[in-house]
Structure formats: structure tokens, C-alpha cells
Amino acid sequence: MAKLIAFIDGSIYSESVCDHAAWIAKRTAAQVEVVHVLGRRMISNAPGNLSGRIGLGARTALLEELAESDAQAAKLAQERGRAILNDAKARIEGEGVGDVGTRLRNADIVETVQEYEAGADLIVIGKRGLAADFARLHLGSNLERVVRSSTRPVLVASRAFRPIKRVLIAFDGGRSVTKAVDFIAGLKGFDGLDFRLLSVGQENAEMRRKLEAACETLRAAGYVADARVEPGEPEKVIAEMSEADETDMLIMGAYGHSRIRNFIIGSTTTEMLRSCKIPVMLFR
């Protein structure tokens, strides 16, 4: 792996994002780029003027007023962003990663991902952002947009980092998960990592064969790999197994269905992200 990009926003997940990024970067000797996105300015915090009055030179006056308040807000955000990035850089370098860059961008996060992902192999992002409502277990509003728009694997960091030893792969035999297996097999520096491949549903020969092939690929790359098939509801079984096995990370394909379908019946991916307390690596 050559480069990974970590997106942070200064929430409590930022530290975890840095730790996850550092953990991977150290083993793969990858370069880390930490990005903080200031976000589009939808709303100026100009004092509410509901007078509905426009007087002489209304346009110029309004433009100046808005520009002034934007400038103040932007300066503050910039200072804060720099501070967040410097903390992150120090934290990652403290873990022994040599090459850490920082970027501060005035843009939408999805646009930034699309702009930067070309040079990167992995994107790391927090499960929730600053704006998320923790009490209701809402996922970060940007997470789904980032995962959907990115062509790279996305590692969704959990609240706190713990060293990763055992990894559960939710195996459905589809393209995304095959891509995931190939991606992992291509990595160097994680020897001895223990992979559990889990397929949920009726056991059949086809699935067995695919599972075995995936295990072979992983073993050939120097990992420990083991496969099994369990009946039941995928969301439930995966969550239960990951808890029972004390796995440290979950790997799965993401958002295989259209937005419309997700809107109506909900998304498996979102459900999994919400119920699992461990980091999840998503492949599209």
C-alpha cells in the first residue's frame, strides 16, 4: 500500500481515525495524508434581518455584510482546522509513521474524496462526525455519501482503537467481497492476522467452493484463514458472530442496493455499521 487518506473533523472519532491509519501505515510503510474538510458554507451566520427592506445600494451592502461574516467564520474554522490537523499529525508520527502530510480544504467532503482518492489505496473515516446525534445512534451523515461515491475501500473507524488480531469477513460470494479478499491478500506486513470468513444462509456447494478459494488466497498471502456457513438473518448472525469470536474488525461489501431501495427497506450496510462496535472496512 502506498498511501492512505484519513478524514478527520475534530470529533472524538478523530483520534481513533488517526490510530487506525497509523496502525495500517506503520505495517505497510504507507504515506498518510490527513485531511480536514471545512465544508461548504451553506449558511452565513449573519445576524438575522427579517425586515424585508431593501434600500439604497442594498446589494452591495448585503454583499459586504455577508463577506465580512463569512471571513470571520472562515478564519476561525481555518485556525481550528490547522490545530486539529497538527494534533493528528503529531499523534500519527508518535506511532512511528514517517511520512504524514496534512491538507485543509474548503470543499464538500464527497468532492474532496473524489479529488484525492486517485492517489490513495484506502480511505479512513470516523463512524460518526461532529454533527451526528449520538443518542439516537445516527451514523455520520457524510459516511454513506463518502462510501457510495468512493472507488477505494473505506475503513470506518470505531470510537476507540484496539490492536487488530482477528478479522471477520462477511462473505456473500459477490464481487465486492472478492475484491476485498484480493485487496487484503495483496497487502504486505500483516502476517499472522487471523481471518474468519462467514457466509450466512443455506449451505451449498457453490458457496463452499468460493469460500475455500478465498481462504486459499488468504493463506497463500501468509494469513490464517478459516471459513464457515451459518443459517439465519445476515445482519443478526454477523453481529452475533463478531461478538462471540471477539473479532477486532469486520470486512464487507457495501451499499449493494440503490438509494431508493435503501430508503424504503433500509440498508444492510447502515444496519451493520450501527450495530457493530468494531471498525468496518467497506468495499464497493
Partner 1 sequence: MTIFPPMHRMRDEWFGNVRGDVLAGLVVALALIPEAIAFSIIAGVDPKIGLYASFSIAVIVAITGGRPGMISAATAATAVLMVTLVKEHGLQYLLAATVLAGLLQIVAGLLKLGYVMRFVSRSVMTGFVNALAILIFMAQLPELIDVPMLTYIMVALGLGIIYLFPYVSKTIPSPLVCIIVITALALIFGFDQLRTVSDMGELPSTLPIFLIPDIPFNLETLRIILPYSVAVAAVGLLESLMTASIVDELTDTTSDKNQECIGQGIANTCTGFIGGMAGCAMIGQSIINVQSGGRGRLSCFCAGVFLLFLIVVLGDWVGRIPMAALVAIMIMVSIGTFSWSSITNLREHPRSSSIVMLATVVTVVWTHNLAIGVLIGVLLSGIFFAWKIAQLFRVTSELSPDGTTRRYRVEGQLFFASVEDFNAAFDFRESVEKVVIDVGNAHIWDISSVSALDMVVLKFRREGADVEIVGLNEASETIVDRLAVHDKPGALDDLLGH
What does the CA dihedral 241, 277, 17, 129 come to, rounded to 10 degrees? 140
Number of neighbouring beta carbons within 10 Å of residue 215: 20
For residue 185, give the nearest of 145, 216, 212 by alpha carbon. 216
The residue (of 74 and 207) whose beta carbon lies closer to partner 1 is 74
Q: Which is nearer to partner 1, 57 or 98 (CB)?
A: 57
- Residues near partner 1 (CB under 8 A) are 40-44, 46-60, 62-63, 66-67, 70, 110, 145, 149, 259
The C-alpha R_g of the chain, in whole angstroms, comes to: 22
CB of 136 to partner 1, least distance (A): 17
Please identify, using beta-carbon distances, which residue of 52 and 192 lies nearer to partner 1: 52
110-136 core/surface letters (b: 16 or more CB in 10 A; e: else): eebbeebbeebbbbbbbbbbeebeeee
Please identify, using beta-carbon distances, which residue of 57 and 101 lies nearer to partner 1. 57
User: How far is 235 from 102, CA to CA, in rounded Å?
Assistant: 37
Grid look-up 461515491 returns 149
User: Torsions phi, psi of 102, nearest 5?
Assistant: -130, 150
Least distance to partner 1, CB of residue 221, Å: 37
Query: Between 41 and 105, whose beta carbon lies closer to partner 1?
Result: 41
Q: Residue 37 CB, nearest distance to partner 1 (Å)? A: 14
Distances (CA, A) of 105 to 18, 112, 147, 179: 18, 8, 19, 30
**From the CB of 281, what's the least distance to partner 1, in Å?**
24
Closer residue to partner 1 (CB): 46 or 164 = 46
Supply the minimum distance, in Å, between the C-beta of residue 111 and partner 1: 10
Query: Count of alpha carbons within 13 Å of 158, Cβ hemisphere only?
Result: 19
Instruction: Quote the least distance from Cβ 54 to partner 1, whole Å.
Output: 3
Minimum distance, C-beta of residue 42 to partner 1, in the bound complex (Å): 5
Contact by Cβ (8 Å): 13, 130: no
User: Would you say 142 or 268 has its CB closer to partner 1?
Assistant: 142
**Contact 108/141 with Cβ under 8 angstroms?**
no
